[in-house]
Amino acid sequence: MGYGIPADNRAVKRPLGIVTRNYVTPPSVELYQGDLLDTSTGEILTRTPQIARAERWALKSVVNRLLSGDRVSKCMVLRAPISGQGLAPIEIHKGQTHGKAFYHGLMACGSVWTCPVCAAKIAERRRLELKQAIEAAKLKGFGVYFVTLTIPHGVGDDLHQLLANLSASLKRMSQDQHFRRIKKRLGIEIEGFIRAQEVTYGDNGWHPHFHMIVFTPDRSLSCSVLQQAYSEGWRSACVKSGIPEPDSDYGCTVQDGSRAANYVSKWGIEDEMTKSHVKQGKCSGLTPWGLLRAVLDGNAPEIAPEPAAALFRLYAHAFKGRRQLHWSVGLRAKLLPEQVELSDQELVDRPDDERAALLSEISTAQWKAIRNARAQASILDAAESDPRLISVLVARIMAKAGIDSGDAAGAPEYDGLRHFTGLHPDTPPPIPAPFVNERHALGFCLADIGRIRL
């Protein structure tokens, strides 16, 4: 990762799995419970699911602070309303399928753009669907290609405007007669496509782009032929939309199916949370999760926490309501006819594991103390290692907070829709200081649990 622990801090074993790229160490070192670090690239090679989960909750804590007042900040905080029955109890379940513990009864926002907890859960399902789609396409003998489309951008460009330009060009291309004629001339037929919208932030400002997995009935079609058609189609669409002509090398690229498969295998936030963003000291492009990570770490070499926080908030506003993944009409029926299509919200509202056992119920006062201690991930770690640890850990957290663990008085009340007011772009609220440093969430748990005796 390269998230900037000072170079003189050369401890090899760190409980948080945060390391510097300046180490002079063997090719790989063990960080924590099996997390392996590649010392040449600074990337974490293997990470325990517990560390990944702790990182998600730590980032979630940052989001709650940056977007306070937004729906995402209430996600995994408030109890979920059950129609006609009031509020759901907060429970800890343990799935029988994978042995993972999870919370049940909490409101889930379903945001793929801003919520690390929901985005991870949704991405898990979407990754599987994308993988199955490519496999099904190959079985049918389809060609699979990976197309990337972007538009010129520079420092200071308005993200809202860039996204509007990108969408306008895309719409134009899908309806463009010129593009249709080129495809016909080159003998290209398209079965369908899956399109993903993404953005990074780097030396040239915001870099919004689309990736498309394009399926053709003819698998012998060469990439260069498809490149010819899409490059000209994209150029024509951009010009007709009144935006600058895309770069002839980078505006549109077409790669083969192996690139598509590789892209799909990394779909989700785990990879983006951990990969090194620093190459030769240049900021080659931070994903939104990378921006959050810079806020969390506070000493990232690429960007200071304050601008990273401001950029994330701008991004959150610009992407609100946008679709992340789009399947062309009829493609799902061709490739995944058996599968029920679930919305993002439907996905996060489902329990993590359908086959799960109830381990414990926690009061709203206990949940508040757990949240204030940034110990949400720790409780789940405890639940997985030994369910008896839950009450021990909760009691310790309550004691630390000066609350009797049996006393649920003073629990926060759900106040319905009042919470769900969005941010207005013209009046960004000040960034409140963290109540407890979110980094705490990364280190608290596993180190602390290790000391607990039953």
Stretch that binds Zn ion, among 67-75, 155-163, 175-183, 257-265 (CB under 5 A): 67-75
Task: Give every CB contact of residue 299 below 8 A, 6+ residues apart in sequence.
Answer: 3, 4, 5, 6
**Whole-number minimum distance, CB 416 to Zn ion, in Å?**
18
Cα distances (angstroms) measured from residue 91 to each of 78, 178, 273, 420: 13, 57, 28, 24
**Whole-number minimum distance, CB 218 to Zn ion, in Å?**
42
Stretch that binds Zn ion, among 62-70, 117-125, 190-198, 267-275 (CB under 5 A): 117-125
130 binds Zn ion (CB under 5 A): no
Among all chains, which residue has been given the structure tokens 């994308």? 130
Decide the pairing of beta strands 28-30 and 36-38: antiparallel
**Whole-number minimum distance, CB 419 to Zn ion, in Å?**
13
**Among 106, 118, 383, 393, interactor with Zn ion by CB under 5 A:** 118
Stretch that binds Zn ion, among 10-18, 104-112, 291-299, 409-417 (CB under 5 A): 104-112
Rounded to 5°, the CA angle 234-235-237 comes to: 65
365 binds Zn ion (CB under 5 A): no
66 binds Zn ion (CB under 5 A): no
Stretch that binds Zn ion, among 108-116, 208-216, 362-370, 375-383 (CB under 5 A): 108-116
Q: Which is nearer to Zn ion, 37 or 78 (CB)?
A: 78
**Whole-number minimum distance, CB 305 to Zn ion, in Å?**
22
75 binds Zn ion (CB under 5 A): yes
**Whole-number minimum distance, CB 103 to Zn ion, in Å?**
12
115 binds Zn ion (CB under 5 A): yes
Q: Which is nearer to Zn ion, 106 or 369 (CB)?
A: 106
Residue count, binding to Zn ion (CB under 5 A): 4
Would you say 398 and 404 are in contact if contact means Cβ atoms under 8 Å apart? Answer: yes
347 binds Zn ion (CB under 5 A): no
Cβ-count burial 160-181 (b if 16+ within 10 Å, e if not): eebbebbebbbebbeebeebee
Q: Which is nearer to Zn ion, 75 or 243 (CB)?
A: 75
Bridge partners of residue 87, in order along the sequence:
81
Q: Which is nearer to Zn ion, 18 or 347 (CB)?
A: 347
Would you say 64 and 72 are in contact if contact means Cβ atoms under 8 Å apart? Answer: yes
109 binds Zn ion (CB under 5 A): yes
* DSSP code, position 324: S
Nearest 10 degrees: Cα torsion 326, 329, 335, 338: 100
d(CA 278, CA 454): 44
**Whole-number minimum distance, CB 53 to Zn ion, in Å?**
14
* DSSP helix/strand/coil, 299: coil
Q: Which residues form the interface with Zn ion (CB under 5 A)? A: 75, 109, 115, 118
